[in-house]
Amino acid sequence: MARQLISTGSKWEPIIGYSRAVKVGNSIFVSGTTGSGADGKIVGNNDLYAQTKQAILNIETALKQGGATLANVVRTRVYVTDISRWEDAAKAHGEFFSEIRPAMAIVEVSKLISSEMLVEVEADAVIE
């Protein structure tokens, strides 16, 4: 089965040894994605909602490269650094997925790779 690596072109991908997403068959697995803008900087300083929204937009971009859309997402995982603010992340998630309704988890983690990052989102998609 063919394996397609989907890249953002980030300098970190070859250093760390990962791809933004990997497509195998009719499935696409999107790596943990943060709320970074096109300039590589985190959007929404201390704004969990804005960062979650940007992370999902970044996931959407990766899915398009693999021939999918957000409608193909079957599972998401949302990692937040402060679970007491989960509703901000959930609001952004719901704006994209209220009709799609993938399986989902939201969990608190102690830290992400940078202190300005408040959320990281993973997604799995299946193309029908």
pTM score > 0.85 for this model?
Answer: yes
CB within 8 Å of 57: residues ≥ 6 apart: none
| 128 residues of the chain, pLDDT tens digit each | 789 999 988 888 999 999 999 999 999 999 999 999 988 899 999 999 999 999 999 999 999 999 999 999 999 999 999 999 999 999 999 999 999 999 999 999 999 999 999 999 999 999 98
Domains of the chain: 3-126 (3.30.1330.40)
> What's the CA gap between 124 and 90, in Å, rounded?
18
